[in-house]
A and B are shown apart, each in its own frame.
Chain A
Amino acid sequence: MSQIFAQGLVCPLDKNNVDTDQIIPKQFLTSVSRDGFAEALFYDWRYLANEQPNPDFVLNEPAYKGASILLTRANFGCGSSREHAPWAIQQYGFNVVIAESFADIFFNNSINNGMLLISLSASNIEFLFSRCQQGTQEWKIDLAGQQIILGNNAAVGFQIDPDIKQRLLSGLDFIGASEQFEPQISGYEKQRASAQPWLG
């Protein structure tokens, strides 16, 4: 079975430890909305102090305009738990991030927004960066088949937690899913109140 989760231009962000303060700086966190964060993505890297675009930042290179797959390195999304980070990435146009590893909270936040985060070995990440050096890349992500299709019969396979894969494929509402356990939640609350009444 082949099902293309996403396809498009790849933008290589060649950095380790990209933290959520870089993904979306503090001044954009006072919003009470879930929308409107595309312009804030990587703001301090994307724009100079005079608010003109920084020509040296990869996202501003004309070749990567319209990119929808972000390729980066280890520990992407570390730091603050702000879900504004995946909101900004997604609203800019990326629905897939490929990295050697991700910080836990960022990973969960992204999945909860229906984004696909793919972790690969350091050598596979290196290989994908080397492809990007050869010229702009357009890849397809086959989630059901768990592979990144690079074109010309080349592909890189990836691992993904089966529960997460299912959620992304079926678009399951996770609050709704947990609400199915209402009898168990009520039962747990009763048992908790009698066994440990000090918990409130």
Chain B
Amino acid sequence: MMAKTLYQKIYQSHIVAPVNGSTDLLFVDRHLIHEVTSPQAFAGLRQAGRTVRRPDLTYATMDHNVSTQLRSIDAAGETSRKQLEALATNCKEFNVPLLDLMHPDQGIVHVIGPELGLTQPGMIIVCGDSHTSTHGAFGAIAFGIGTSEVEHVLATQTLQQQVAKTLKVEVTGSLSPFVTPKDVIMAVIGQLGTAGGNGYVAEFCGSAIRGMSMEGRMTLCNMSIEMGAKAGLIAPDEVTFTYLKGKPHAPQAEHWDAAVQYWQSLYSDADAVFDKTVTIAAEKIRPQVTWGTNPEQVIAVDQPIPSPESFSDLIKADAARRALTYMGIEAGQKLTDLKVDVVFIGSCTNSRIEDLRQAAAVVQGKQVASGVRALIVPGSGQVKRQAEAEGLADIFKASGFEWREPGCSMCLGMNDDRVEAGQRCASTSNRNFEGRQGRGSRTHLVSPAMAAAAAIAGRFVDISYVERAEGTYQ
């Protein structure tokens, strides 16, 4: 039998029928939906007289444009209210379970899927959101789709797909202190570029990956879309099984052993051939900070901001020139000299309990620098309750952080959480595009610990250096 990659194994087990030529019809195990990319899909169903084929495999939440200050459907403005109401109406009409604003487990779709046990190894999971790649951390093929495809999945529980190429990203060794999965994925994107993964499904492997918690693995897979990969994937192991055990939608006692036995078959065969392989030594990765307006414009915190002339590719050089202007910085400047106005800790990339623990460890007993606005937006109701129970919320509040309700919030500023024009934001989110956090906003992507340290110092800080040398961030 021919050796297969993990991606190929899962893909092949989901073929309902070949469609024609190179296209297959694949079955979808979980379809997650939210308010922004689903209303037109439901409208399309209605127009064509179709229904939702498997409402039992479909789950909805409200996350993108909800207020994080008030649990009220009216709190984020009139158009947001209409969109949230449309989701509630659609879910009711088509019998789709909805975790609405008042539900205790409401939260960011890519945070709640895993914590409810909806996300499991070997599945195909889709959602009308590009960061669906997050769920690949469990050894599932998970990817974002558009609204026409949302309608297609609602109607048929399938999608027409073609086999993607495979990319192996091996991270050897182990991470240095204060270097997190966020730094790993940003370093990988820096090396491969924002289009380096186009057409590929990326499988992350190696000892540094095995050493990561599920939260860390989710952060890693979450940002694989930022290098253009169709999906990110990590073979499941004991860490995965332990995380899932006892979750509400995870296999229950009578099926648990059979499920685990199946999950243990989900790995790339030793002699499987990948279309492309990249190997990175974990020890070489330092805390990362983006300096430009796309995620590949990233450097280690102790590197100087590059000059456009340092890029041999003329188009990249031109992009660097524009990015420096937009970001209001100059080549050769040190990141640690840049003052921050806003700090945002949250988003589907870094709003889980482990992220909040890392941030709390940095800020405990210290104060947010004057003039800095700092927000913590937990990823879900569960994360929020756990952080409150562990005393993390009190640490943040005592330090001068705003402690908010769950939602996507300032990652994309669809609600009222925005960065003002010209303001510089240290953000744990995933995109530093022009205007992403608000028109004219200047976003620097960092890990939760780096964001927390920036809040205290009022500027970027090399946390590994400070922690070693001074034991303080002030």
Contact = CB atoms under 8 A, between A and B. Distances in A.
Contacts of B436: 21, 26
A181 B158 contact: yes
B106 to A, nearest CB: 18
Contact of B149 (A26, A29, A108, A184): A108
B57 A181 contact: no
A30 B414 contact: yes
A56 interface: no
Interface stretch (A1-9, A58-66, A190-198): A190-198
Interface residues of A, number: 54
A181 B17 contact: yes
Interface stretch (B19-27, B212-220, B371-379): B19-27
Given A26-B414, A34-B43, A177 B65 contact: no
Nearest to A104: B230
Nearest to B50: A175
A82 B37 contact: yes
Contact of B25 (A82, A178, A199): A178
Interface string A1-45: 000000000000001110101100111011111100000000010
A181 to B, nearest CB: 5
A160 interface: no
B27 A32 contact: no
A163 B327 CA distance: 43
Contacts of B39: 32
A83 B39 CA distance: 12
A103 B435 contact: no
B206 interface: no
Contact of A185 (B16, B146, B195): B16
A185 B435 contact: no
Given A31-B79, A75-B194, A112 B148 contact: yes
B146 A109 contact: yes
A34 B21 contact: no
Contacts of B270: none
A174 B120 CA distance: 28
A103 to B, nearest CB: 6
B152 A175 contact: yes
Interface in B109-159: 120, 123, 128-130, 143-149, 151-152, 155-158
Contacts of A27: 414
B2 interface: no
A135 B348 CA distance: 46
Contacts of A144: none
Contacts of B394: none
Contacts of A103: 195, 198, 228
Interface residues of B, number: 78
Interface string A140-184: 000000000000000000000111000000000011011101001
Interface of B: 16-17, 19-23, 25, 27, 29, 36-37, 39-40, 43, 48, 50, 53, 56-57, 64-65, 77, 79-80, 82-83, 86, 120, 123, 128-130, 143-149, 151-152, 155-158, 160, 162, 194-195, 198-199, 228, 230, 249-252, 255-256, 258-259, 262, 294, 315-316, 319, 412-414, 421, 431, 433-436, 439-440
Given A17-B294, A104-B198, A25 B146 contact: no
Contacts of A136: none
A80 B130 contact: yes
A25 B198 contact: no
Given A174-B152, A184-B16, 13 more contacts: A19-B294, A21-B412, A30-B80, A32-B43, A74-B315, A80-B129, A80-B412, A163-B21, A175-B152, A175-B155, A197-B255, A198-B251, A198-B255
Given A30-B414, A32-B82, A44-B434, A78 B43 contact: no
A56 to B, nearest CB: 12
Contact of B433 (A22, A105, A174, A196): A22
A115 to B, nearest CB: 12
A113 interface: yes
Contact of A44 (B48, B79, B439): B439
Contacts of B120: 198-199
A73 B319 CA distance: 12
A34 B150 CA distance: 14
Contacts of A21: 412, 431, 433-436
10 contacts: A16-B319, A21-B431, A25-B435, A26-B412, A29-B65, A32-B83, A178-B25, A179-B155, A199-B123, A200-B56
Nearest to A15: B319
Given A32-B43, A81-B130, A112 B146 contact: yes
A139 B158 CA distance: 38
B433 A104 contact: no
A79 interface: yes
A12 B158 CA distance: 37
Q: Which 4 A-B pairs have the closest CB atoms?
A: A198-B251, A109-B146, A83-B146, A112-B148
B148 A113 contact: yes
